[in-house]
């Protein structure tokens, strides 16, 4: 991976902030009319990828999705509001935070239903990892998220060593 190019200028958190609104339809729900967890994860992945894509200005792949809290059910007919922004950029990876609300369009109220942290890795059109610009954490809140993302990365790395997660090697597929 080419890492010795000129230093990239930092990008502000606002540069990556993304928002998505979805109307929950019967196809998205279980037999009780509640949003399926997997469908919500799909929306979270999409809005998270938008933030990483905007920051990196390159293709991105999801490396991990963690810490998802499903706080309250979402029902058919609800409006789902998803917001994402970059918490921290590392070398080729970026941690993105996603927060999800349900809006009752009739009452004009919102409540928080889910949160998640995801890591995306920037790649070029050949699938090779590429460096990402540093993140400029300006406000106290942005700096807190930046520090927390560093702590989560340390925990993730020590967990990966403990679980002996193999490194991805496309040249050695396992025969079935």
Ligand X SMILES: CC(C)(COP(=O)(O)OP(=O)(O)OC[C@H]1O[C@@H](n2cnc3c(N)ncnc32)[C@H](O)[C@@H]1OP(=O)(O)O)[C@@H](O)C(=O)NCCC(=O)NCCS
Note the residues at the interface with ligand X (CB under 6 A): 61-64, 90-93, 119, 121, 129, 156, 167-168
CB 35 within 8 A of CB 29: yes
Shorter beta-carbon distance to ligand X: residue 108 or 170: 170
Shorter beta-carbon distance to ligand X: residue 58 or 62: 62
Between CA 93 and CA 169 the distance in angstroms is 18
Backbone region of residue 10 per phi and psi (left: phi > 0; alpha: psi in -120 to 50; beta: other values): beta
DSSP state of 154: H
**45 exposed, middle or buried (CB, 10 Å; 0-12, 13-18, 19+)?**
middle
CB neighbour list of residue 111: distance below 8 Å, 6 or more residues apart: 72, 101, 102
R_g of the chain computed on alpha carbons: 18
Q: Closest separation between CB of residue 129 and ligand X, Å?
A: 6
Shorter beta-carbon distance to ligand X: residue 107 or 168: 168
Phi, psi of 144 (to 5 degrees): -60, -45
Q: Closest separation between CB of residue 73 and ligand X, Å?
A: 26
Shorter beta-carbon distance to ligand X: residue 14 or 165: 165
Q: Closest separation between CB of residue 58 and ligand X, Å?
A: 12
Q: Closest separation between CB of residue 62 and ligand X, Å?
A: 4
CB 86 within 8 A of CB 48: no
Shorter beta-carbon distance to ligand X: residue 167 or 175: 167
Q: Closest separation between CB of residue 72 and ligand X, Å?
A: 27
């Amino acid at each position: 991976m080419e890492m010795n190019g000129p230093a990239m200028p930092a990008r502000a958190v606002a540069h990556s902030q993304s928002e998505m609104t979805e109307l929950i339809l019967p196809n998205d729900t279980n037999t009780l009319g509640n949003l399926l967890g997997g469908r919500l994860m799909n929306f979270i992945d999409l809005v998270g990828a938008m933030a990483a894509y905007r920051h990196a200005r390159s293709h991105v792949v999801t490396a991990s999705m963690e810490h998802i809290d499903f706080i309250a059910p979402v029902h058919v007919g609800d409006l789902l509001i998803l917001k994402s922004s970059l918490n921290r950029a590392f070398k080729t990876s970026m941690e993105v935070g996603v927060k999800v609300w349900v809006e009752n369009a009739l009452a004009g109220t919102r409540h928080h239903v889910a949160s998640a942290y995801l890591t995306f890795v920037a790649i070029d059109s050949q699938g090779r990892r590429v460096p990402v610009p540093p993140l400029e954490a300006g406000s106290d809140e942005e700096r807190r998220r930046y520090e927390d993302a560093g702590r989560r990365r340390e925990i993730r790395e020590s967990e990966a060593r403990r679980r002996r997660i193999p490194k991805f090697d496309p040249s050695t597929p396992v025969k079935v």
